[in-house]
């Protein structure tokens, strides 16, 4: 994150093709967005950006979006802790 924008984002996924595709798409959707914009990336927007997913694979978009949100929340907590120490 630089100037409140997602500058770079990476993922590590062990799973099926849909899990890898949704993780990759989530990183692409997040790059260049502000933290607030990235937090608005939804499970549906990930699936829609891939042209849809079979119903049995929709959980993959849930996992990818949820992982992004968790990573952002972790980053924000670390930034808050860092400011409290200073």
76 located within any domain: yes
Q: What is the pTM of this model?
A: 0.89
The number of folded domains in the chain is: 1
Cα–Cα distances (Å) from 54 to 20, 48, 49, 51, 60, in that order, read 15, 11, 14, 10, 10
61 located within any domain: yes
The mean per-residue pLDDT over the stretch 31-55 comes to 97
Q: What would the 3-class secondary structure string for 21-81 be?
A: HHHHHHHHHHCCCEHHHHHCCCHHHHHHHCCCCCHHHHHHHHHHHHHHHHHHHHHHHHHHH
Instruction: Check: CB of residue 39 under 8 Å from CB of residue 12.
Output: no
66 located within any domain: yes
4 located within any domain: no
The mean per-residue pLDDT over the stretch 39-49 comes to 97
Range of the domain at 63: 17-85
The phi and psi torsions of 46 (rounded to 5 degrees) equal -65, -50
User: Where does the pLDDT of residue 36 fall: very low under 50, low under 70, confident under 90, or very high at 90 and above?
Assistant: very high
56 located within any domain: yes
CATH at 21: 3.90.1010.10
């Amino acid at each position: 994150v630089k100037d409140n924008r997602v500058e770079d984002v990476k993922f590590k996924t062990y799973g099926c093709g849909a899990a890898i595709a949704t993780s990759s798409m989530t990183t692409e959707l997040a790059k260049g967005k502000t933290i607030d914009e990235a937090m608005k990336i939804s499970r549906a927007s990930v699936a829609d950006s891939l042209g849809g997913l079979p119903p049995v694979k929709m959980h993959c978009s849930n996992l990818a979006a949820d992982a992004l949100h968790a990573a952002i929340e972790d980053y924000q907590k670390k930034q808050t802790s860092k400011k409290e120490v200073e």
